[in-house]
Amino acid sequence: MGEDQDGNGRIGRMIVEHFFATAQPSPFSLSRQIKHDKPGYYAALQEGRKGRQGQVEATPFVAWFLEALAAAADSAPQEALHEVSKLALELLQRR
């Protein structure tokens, strides 16, 4: 994978995170979910390039993205609890 392609992915993920953060603060991290399933992320990207004679079929990636978004939203309560626990521990350690 070329440098530009990887950079485009980072920019795309930042745009999506920014969209969700400005539309309404979200209690989950899509970037964290993508990092959790990097093999699936890259497989979905590659699937859209197979046998298309230079054309890209976005359906495999869009399907993977929506599943990742749902998984990130499902994990939000656990993530929030984890963050609150970390903050509480930090506050207790300051005393």
Question: Tokens 């920014």 identify what position?
Answer: 18
- Read off the tokens for 13: 């993920």
* Predicted pLDDT at 8: 66
Kindly report, residue by residue over 51-88, the tens digit of the pLDDT. 667 777 889 989 998 998 888 888 888 877 888 888 88
- SS3 for 26-83 is CCCCHHHHHHHCHHHHHHHHHHCCCCCCCCCCCHHHHHHHHHHHHHHHHCHHHHHHHH
The model carries a pTM of 0.65
